[in-house]
Amino acid sequence: MALATPCPLCIFLHFLLLLPFTIAQNHIKIPLGSSLTANDGNLVWASPLGEFAFGFQQIEKDGFLLAIWFNKIPERTVVWSANGNTLVKRGSKLELTKNGLLVLKSPTGKQICVVQGAGSGVAYAAMLDTGNFVLASQDSVSIWESFNEPTDTLLPLQAFNQGKRLAARYSGKNFSKGRFQLKLRSNGNLELYTTTFPMDAANYVYWSSNTAGSGFQVMFNQSGSIYLQAKNGTILSMLSSKPSSTEDFYQRAILEYDGVFRHYVHPKNNGPDTKGWSRAWSHCSTSIPSNICLSLKEETGGGACGFNGYCSLEKDQRPNCHCPNGYSFIDPNDVMKGCKQSFESQSCDVNSKEEDKFYFNTMENTDWPLSD
């Protein structure tokens, strides 16, 4: 598990250099004083059409994640979470206080997480059908929104502005912060980089948009295109251009735990535009980077498969981790941790008997970057 760090709800909310937007779409007001409790049959705050839900998902036997997810598909795929580094126990409660604060409390009443700086002027909360959870004023002006504090996923109509970042989770089922991040830097360059895990500092940039001085915002439009644009709206870099209408498909773009940014679609119904589509998430367009195994050539760090491990790319464009002869996985359930030696090291004791126990092993089509 990653070291505990402040969750998005605990960050002091800063405002974009843009006017606050007014909530124009249909929404159900969640009044001050409302609450949710983490348990087996817990209630949720759903969007008007039930497309998304905000509440607790049970991740472990006694571990609950405060999250937003797609609510009309069996997978209940999470798109935003507040406490990935520290799951809360059964009986924990989320409260929208009379003062307009969103407070997460343990079963003993200890305050775990608070939206700081958002209480003043908050009149209600709302879960929107876009997947955006907002705290709003009496005039329906957004004061805080989950779209401005993304975790690892972007949704259609969500803007990704300078200074924002996505942090990959540790694994498919472990929502704590992992080893990869995507950030639109203040100079306009969009970068994928490894971190000095378990710390958060940037380590090695393995993909870049090369748009320093011009990049302004990443947009995810309703037609399914994801692109980096300049301040005047000019498209600088097309990240994904698979045309899939949000009317017929659920969509999400995620920085996955293997360090790859992928765009997924899921058919909503059996309409003519979704004929032939599997009723599951399908990866569309090109992954970024296209080959993570070849992209990670950092001088420090464990690469795609950890120290002593090596990586091959499967047909589904996902990395497959291996150990060389004489090595085995440190943790077979977490192969990205790397490999450990499973042979006895040669003794350097001058009194030890000299024996020839080692040999060179040829590995075809394998490269060890920076080790030649």
Residue scoring higher pLDDT (9 or 269): 269
Q: What is the mean pLDDT of the chain?
A: 86
Contact 117, 12 (CB under 8 A): yes
Position 347 pLDDT exceeds 50 = yes
Q: Report pLDDT for 310.
A: 92
d(CA 330, CA 306): 10
Assign a CATH topology to domain 1-149. Answer: Agglutinin, subunit A (2.90.10)
* Helix, strand, coil shares, percent, the chain, to 5: 5, 35, 60
**DSSP H or E stretch at residue 38:** none
Q: What is the pLDDT of residue 115?
A: 67
d(CA 318, CA 313): 6
3-state SS class at 356: coil
What's the pTM value of the predicted model, to 2 decimals?
Answer: 0.87
Q: How do residues 129-186 score in pLDDT, each as one tens digit? A: 999 999 999 999 999 999 999 999 999 999 999 999 999 999 999 999 999 999 999 9
Would you tell me how many other CB atoms lie within 10 Å of the CB of residue 345? 8
Token representation of residue 279: 């009723």
Residue 239 has pLDDT above 80, yes or no: yes
Digit-coded pLDDT (tens) for 244-291 = 778 888 999 999 999 999 999 999 876 556 666 777 898 887 899 999
> What integer pLDDT is reported at residue 10 of this predicted model?
41
pLDDT of residue 274: 61
Q: What's the full length of the chain, in residues?
A: 372
- Least confident range from 17-31, 92-106, 240-254, 337-351: namely 17-31
Extract the tokens encoding 370: 């920076």
Tokens linked to 307: 């120290």
Q: Which range is most confident: 12-21, 193-202, 239-248, 348-357? A: 193-202
Cis omega (within 30 of 0) for bond into 272: no
pLDDT in tens, 71-123: 999 999 999 999 999 999 999 999 999 988 999 999 988 887 666 556 678 99
For strands 235-240 and 226-229, give the pairing: antiparallel
DSSP 182: E
Residue type, 351: N
- Say how far residue 269 (Cα) sits from the centre of its chain: 26
The pLDDT assigned to 12 comes to 31
Number of helices (H), then strands (E), belonging to the chain: the values are 1, 28
Sequence-distant (6+) residues with CB within 8 A of 263 are 224, 226, 239, 240, 242, 251, 252, 253, 283, 284, 285
Which residues have C-beta within 8 Å of that of residue 250, sequence separation ≥ 6? 51, 70, 73, 265, 266, 267, 268
Nearest-angstrom CA–CA distance, 168 and 10: 19
What is the CA angle 17-19-22, rounded to 5?
A: 140
Neighbour count for residue 267 (Cβ, 10 Å): 21
Q: What is the pLDDT of residue 129?
A: 95
Any idea which of 6-15, 188-197, 240-249 has the lowest mean pLDDT?
Answer: 6-15
For 77, 198, 218, the CA distances from 201, given in Å and listed in that order, are 28, 9, 22
Strand partners of residue 78: 69
pLDDT at 88: 93
Cα separation, 75 vs 107, in Å, equals 28
Give the ranges where the chain is alpha helix by DSSP (H). 292-295
Q: Quote the pLDDT of residue 58.
A: 94
